[in-house]
Amino acid sequence: MKTGTLGRSLLLALAALCVVAAFVVLDWYPTVKNLGRLRRERSDWDRKIKDYGAMAGSLEFPSAAENALLAQMDSQVLQALPRVDSENAWFGLARAELLEGAKGLADAVMLFRQDEALDSGPPGLRGWLTLQEPSIRQVFRAADPLYGVFPPHLATEWRLASQPLGLALQIPLPELLNFINRISWGVARLEIVHLRLEPLERIARAWLVCRGVYRAPGPSARSEEWARGKGGEELLIDPDSPLLLQRIDPLLAPGVEKKELPPAGTPW
């Protein structure tokens, strides 16, 4: 009789232990594990909130004046870019502008496109350009990659396109340098891609390949290339720069200025 009671008690104790073990294994352990994970997650969020608060404290949020300045920027860029009726029209615009800028020197300046032969222009210059032709063609090919200043979607929206243009000239060095300095002052906004200059006895000769950015009338091969994000050098921006933490002061924001070179012979 006693053996039977003891056996039953043991069986009950075993069953009770099994039940406790089942609770522990199937419910308590996963729950406690989850609680630990949730505690860590809560600490993470607390830290994030604290860090964000500290970062926000070091940042000057835009004022109304700065917001207005930021909003105007895109329209300023759009206004600065020439809008042309055709790809050829841009070249015509750049040519007219350059020749007008080279007052009295128009005969000494020769303009050419990527696919044009270099057999026109002043005789002395023509022979030199023939010798330089392989280098010029190579620079033209390299001038195509576009800058990563605008994201592809904006390039598509604004129909941005760019094309290279070559020019060569043979004039006295001071005048040549002034011409180079003023090359970007016009509406065509020519960017120098490459310059080769050779000072001679009394004059200097040079050839340049420039690039112009403009707004194309419609989708073209040149604008699509930009939109695909094909680009050479990327403009580097430091996301941790303290400049980005400060408000842009409209009065201190550097302007786009036309700067003349110092007169020839000025010591530096």
Site for another protein in 244-263 (CB under 8 A): 244-245, 248, 253-254, 256-259, 261-262
Question: Which range touches another protein (CB under 8 A), out of 101-109, 122-130, 145-153, 164-172?
Answer: 145-153
Task: With CA atoms as reference, report the closest residue to 151 among 82, 227, 234.
Answer: 227
Q: Output the smallest distance, CB 189 to another protein, in A.
A: 5
Residue closer to another protein, measured from CB, 206 or 216: 206
243 binds another protein (CB under 8 A): yes
10 binds another protein (CB under 8 A): no
What letter represents residue 14's amino acid? L
Residue closer to another protein, measured from CB, 189 or 222: 189
49 binds another protein (CB under 8 A): yes
191 binds another protein (CB under 8 A): yes
41 binds another protein (CB under 8 A): yes
Site for another protein, residues 91 to 130, rule: CB under 8 A: none
Site for another protein, residues 164 to 183, rule: CB under 8 A: 173, 177-178, 180-183
25 binds another protein (CB under 8 A): no
215 binds another protein (CB under 8 A): no
Taking every pair of C-alpha atoms in the chain, what is the biggest distance, in angstroms?
A: 132
Residue whose token pair is 């009065």: 251
